[in-house]
Amino acid sequence: MLTIYHNPRCGKSRETLKIIHENGTSANVVEYLKVCPSFDTLKDLLEKLDMKPEELIRKGEKIFKEEYKGKSLSDDEWIQAMEDHPILIERPIVVKGNKAIVGRPPENVKVLL
């Protein structure tokens, strides 16, 4: 089963979820803005994505520009920033077993289907 960290207000996230459903695959949908992943969950997601925390940050968000732009943070500090401000987490993230992808573009999800 897949898990998608989803923001229903995001077009890319909706498109990714649509591809999953069109494939006949079921998914556990986590609205991460309502139920933010814990620090440990974020760390686990980053390992599955094979990404550094700063690579998963949405740098266009207002909170990033106001609080983090131009700062040099450690990996743990970036993870903490995502836990404190889940809007900073790039979306959607789709997980299957020990692998994960960011659905940008949404077609990226096909490697997990």
Which residues are the active-site residues? Answer: 10
Contact 71, 45 (CB under 8 A): no
Tokens of 17: 């979820």
Contact 53, 80 (CB under 8 A): no
Q: How many CA atoms lie within 13 A of 96 on its CB side?
A: 14
Give the separation between CA 65 and CA 54, rounded to whole angstroms.
14
Residue 70 CA, chain-centre distance (Å), reads: 22
